Copies of this chain bind each other. A is one copy, B any other.
């Protein structure tokens, strides 16, 4: 059943039926009523989305491009919260969300995304690969989240001050052997200890670099040479990838094992917490731990995680509002908040 068929059956023109659905003021209420009723009766669900989007140029679909695989992103608390925030705003304004992965995929049909009215890009890596094939990147709105893209609005959090704040808090209690567990920080993939001469990604390639800068500033202020603090790196923010690296840290001899671990994410810190408990290490007595993100899982357990809370949901809301033109497309910086839990009082 198409609009045209419906018009024929009703003995009116297609324009009138179209107007009945889209521009109520263009026809008599009575006729409109009759058309809508008859439409429902005959099983006509309203204008076809494909034809309408071709005609109008808009689809009411916003594409969200995620750096990591969808499989990973959907199971990551921070990414999920971001998506929640985006979904909330889109939903409230009659839009829907198309999920795309930034990973290059053999069978990927990049063109298929040209259906979207706008793009929210989350996380850096894919964007560089993708922006080239992104359909009309400069004709449709695009908002970057958690990284910067020349010429486009972006939503960020205050990574350096946040890193400083939590490290500063942790160091107020003196630590004999602090350690740092990074996330996607090294130029070359590395799930291991970071060698002193290992090349790191610049701040515009990974958010954790700025956090590390903040850590280092705090260490400096507390009279600790950052270069003397051992660092590890983890490539993926999942329990299974974190566990072996953290196990290797916790299994160091007592006089080498850090007594304070500054972690770049709550997932890392939670993994450390679990493994520490399994080894009979007491947190925070034997080992103090800090995370980053403020995910629910870290707060709904004991000991509660000490962390920097970032409002990922709000980050999503802001990005969505910008895409929909509900707020001016400018660079936005969201603030984080120190949450003092039990893992590092």
Contact = CB atoms under 8 A, between A and B. Distances in A.
29 contacts: A45-B111, A46-B111, A47-B111, A48-B111, A48-B114, A49-B111, A49-B112, A49-B114, A50-B54, A53-B115, A60-B112, A61-B112, A69-B91, A70-B87, A70-B91, A70-B97, A71-B84, A71-B88, A75-B81, A75-B84, A87-B99, A91-B108, A94-B105, A94-B107, A97-B99, A99-B99, A271-B300, A278-B302, A297-B297
Contact of A277 (B45, B70, B71, B302): B302
A96 to B, nearest CB: 6
Most B CB contacts (10 A, CB to CB) among A49, A57, A101, A296 go to: A49
Given A70-B88, A71-B84, A93 B111 contact: no
A301 interface: yes
Contacts of A54: 50-51, 54
Interface in A43-78: 45-54, 57, 59-61, 69-71, 74-75, 77
A64 to B, nearest CB: 9
Most B CB contacts (10 A, CB to CB) among A88, A99, A113 go to: A99
B74 A87 contact: yes
A48 to B, nearest CB: 6
A295 to B, nearest CB: 10
Contacts of A195: none
Contacts of A98: 61, 96-99
Interface string A144-185: 000000000000000000000000000000000000000000
Contacts of A99: 87, 96-99
A205 interface: no
A120 to B, nearest CB: 13
A270 B270 CA distance: 15
Interface residues of A, number: 60
A107 B93 contact: yes
Contacts of A30: none
Contacts of A94: 105, 107-109, 112
A344 to B, nearest CB: 18
A263 to B, nearest CB: 15
Nearest to A86: B70
A80 interface: yes
A252 interface: no
A59 B277 CA distance: 50
Interface in A11-45: 45
B133 A45 contact: yes
Contacts of A227: none
A284 interface: no
A107 B77 CA distance: 28
Interface string A296-316: 110011100000000000000
A114 B60 contact: no
A274 interface: yes
Given A91-B101, A101-B91, A50 B136 contact: no
